[in-house]
Amino acid sequence: MHYHPSKFPKIPASEITPEAVFETRRSFLKKSAALLPITLLPGTLSWASAYNPAPSKIYKAGDLKITDEELALNYTNFYEFGLSKEKNPSVYSKFKTSPWQVKCGGLAENPMTLDAAELRDMFSNEERVYRFRCVEAWSAVIPWAGYPLRRLIEKMKPKKEAKYVIFKSFLNKEAAPGQSSLNYPWPYREGLRLDEAMNDLTLLTFGMYGKPLSPANGAPIRLVVPWKYGFKSIKSVVSIELSATQPETTWNKLAADEYGFFANVNPDVDHPRWSQKTEKPLGGSLTNLFSKQKTLPFNGYAEQI
């Protein structure tokens, strides 16, 4: 299926008012709840089917052709479920993403533990079309939906010693076969410096292509940091913790010389095993050299960070 964000106005990021007013999900839900049989509410089905992120902010960087939805859903990196990128959907059959608790704490005056559904509905969701660049040199352009992580962090009220944010994914060997078959330091962990986490581009993400995230893409809640290599965009998050010190992260621990903590997209610094100067957009031929495109410093977001 083809996704058309073009039905929404294209506003350059520079012209976006941070306080743009749009209908909030709560008022949308109230209205739609009035039309639905009461037995549908509350529940996973209604939570998912009522998802309607406001398309009021479309972030663009350069000339972006949105990746085909089928590709973005079916060509994924999610090592908890194995090494292959094109996984059989049955691999997710034991992975339950609702209810899903997220612990938000650490060096916070206002720690909280919420269900992902509550966390999602705490602030209005908006859609953002971002470039996405995996460290393996494939790339995509994806319409995500969520809200800036900054809004949650402000609500958590960082203590003044807080300098980093630590993110952890779930641990469930029953549901995730890769957590037994791959000898990685589970659960998957990532981190950002607090100022990076507070950057307006850093998106706490609940949806893509106008729908809730699929298990393969990190349901029910993931991070998207568009100016960093894809491994920083941790999926299926269960904890967000403020910390005074730089945390250990999964890929950095596995191979520090290949995957740095900061991992900003940089075409001038090659990976030890391949060049980072170019990338292959998903959908382009993966073998045709002419389908490659230049990788941009900070993935095209240098001016926004």
Residue nearest to ligand MTE (CB): 230
Gap between the Cα atoms of 96 and 282, Å rounded? 28
Smallest distance from Mo ion to CB 300, Å? 17
Beta-bridge mates of residue 282 = 284
Q: Which listed residue (231, 259, 298, 301) binds ligand MTE by CB under 6 A?
A: 231
Helix or strand run (H / E) with residue 168: strand 164-169
Render 207-266 in DSSP notation, one character per residue: EETTEEPPGGGTTT-EEE-TTB-GGGS--SEEEEEEESSPPP-HHHHH-TTTS-SS-B--
Gap between the Cα atoms of 190 and 250, Å rounded? 7
Q: Which listed residue (117, 134, 224, 234) binds Mo ion by CB under 5 A?
A: 134
If one asks whether residue 212 binds Mo ion (CB under 5 A), the answer comes out as no
- Based on CB atoms, which residue is closest to Mo ion, 212 or 230? 230
Site residues for ligand MTE, window 144-173 (CB under 6 A)? 169
Gap between the Cα atoms of 192 and 262, Å rounded? 8
Contact 190, 232 (CB under 8 A): yes
Angstrom CA distances, 58 to 125, 129, 139, 140, 143, stand at: 12, 6, 19, 16, 8
- Based on CB atoms, which residue is closest to Mo ion, 107 or 225? 225
- CA-wise closest residue to 222 among 202, 201, 205: 205
If one asks whether residue 218 binds Mo ion (CB under 5 A), the answer comes out as no
If one asks whether residue 205 binds ligand MTE (CB under 6 A), the answer comes out as no
- Based on CB atoms, which residue is closest to ligand MTE, 5 or 82? 82
Smallest distance from ligand MTE to CB 64, Å? 16
Report which DSSP code applies to 297: G
Of 107-115, 117-125, 195-203, 231-239: span binding ligand MTE (CB under 6 A): 231-239
Give the list of residues 6+ apart from residue 190 with CB closer than 8 angstroms, or none. Answer: 166, 167, 223, 231, 232, 234, 249, 250
Phi-psi region of 210 (alpha: psi -120 to 50; beta: other; left: phi over 0): left
If one asks whether residue 264 binds ligand MTE (CB under 6 A), the answer comes out as no
If one asks whether residue 217 binds ligand MTE (CB under 6 A), the answer comes out as yes
Site track for Mo ion across 223-252, x = CB under 5 A? -------xx---------------------
Of 15-23, 72-80, 124-132, 263-271: span binding Mo ion (CB under 5 A): 72-80
- Based on CB atoms, which residue is closest to Mo ion, 54 or 134? 134
Residues contributing to the site for Mo ion (CB under 5 A): 77, 134, 230-231
Residues that bind ligand MTE (CB under 6 A): 76-80, 134, 169, 188, 217-218, 230-231, 233-236
